[in-house]
Amino acid sequence: MGGLLGYSGGPVLCCYASGPVIGIWDLTTTGGLVGRTWKANLIEACYFLPSQGDLSWDNGLGTPLTDEQMRERASFAGWDFRGQLTDGLAEVWMMPAEGGYPVLSLLSGYEPPRPPGSGTAGDPYQIGRLEDLPALIWAPDLHYRLTADIDLAGLSFTTAVVPMFTGRLKGGGHTLAGLTVVSSSDYVGLFGCIGPQGIVSGLTVADVLIVGNVGSVYRGPARRGGSRLLRKRGHRGDGCVQVPGRTGRLWRRI
């Protein structure tokens, strides 16, 4: 029994629980966030408010916060907040103007960016700025064309930049540089998964650092540089796309 989940068999990322947990106290099956999980390291950037401040519900799955801390943006390390691109591009969370705990941006008036174009094969969305990239997250099944090189240096992601992509992205020979993803999860990278219908072509991904969970199909030193070069059908990438962790999943061609 937990404030968010009773049992988790997979990753739990960037969530919180604030409701009371009432039941039999047993830290092997009960917690403020998740009662029990297959692997503790699959709980990442998750927080909970202990019932009446009682830390006996802290079973190590999630981080306990006080009521005051739950009202502060800085308490939620690893979260993607609206208006701050350095913590991610999806703008998932925001703090209410009237005060309170974080709320989902899409349920609070946020509208995802709409780059020039219409997202069709004949008129793909034009991605020419960092601020345009979230469009791939919110509409992953449409058509896109990169119109300029984009520098991601200074940004550090805790999940794949685009978790799932089933659309078409034409890189036009342009480069995404400085990608950094540091996570304890599987399937991390520029794309977490390119689905059966997804196609990415003509794109260079340079100066990459990817750190993922144990069980990677790619392994290597956790440093940035040219330790591995991947070339497939017009896609190029260089850098460290390794350390234990699955670095993206591919259902179709790139």
Q: Which two tokens stand for residue 179?
A: 């990608």
Q: What is the pTM (predicted TM-score) of this model?
A: 0.68
Among 18-22, 104-108, 173-177, 239-243, whose mean pLDDT is lowest?
239-243
Domains of the chain, residue spans: 5-108, 125-250
Q: Go through the chain and tell me how many residues it has.
A: 254
At residue 164, φ and ψ (nearest 5 deg) are: -140, 135
Question: Tokens 């036009």 appear where?
Answer: 172
Pairing status of strand 43-44 against strand 12-13:
parallel
Measured CA to CA, the distance from residue 32 to residue 95 in angstroms comes to: 22
Sequence-ordered list of residues with C-beta below 8 angstroms from that of 242, at least 6 positions apart, any chain: 210, 216, 218, 219, 220, 221, 222, 227, 228
pLDDT value for 247: 41
Mean pLDDT taken over the chain: 77
pLDDT value for 190: 86
Pairing status of strand 16-17 against strand 191-194:
unpaired
pLDDT value for 40: 62
105 within 8 A of 91, measured Cβ to Cβ: yes
Measured CA to CA, the distance from residue 77 to residue 98 in angstroms comes to: 22
**Residue 109 pLDDT more than 50?**
yes
pLDDT in tens, 236-247: 444 444 333 334
At residue 216, φ and ψ (nearest 5 deg) are: -70, 150
Neighbours of 192 (CB within 10 A): 22
pLDDT in tens, 30-80: 788 888 887 666 788 899 998 765 666 677 788 999 999 999 999 998 888
pLDDT in tens, 119-145: 999 999 999 999 899 899 989 999 999
**Residue 217 pLDDT more than 60?**
no
Question: In the predicted model, what is the mean pLDDT of residues 228-243?
Answer: 36
Residue type, 118: S
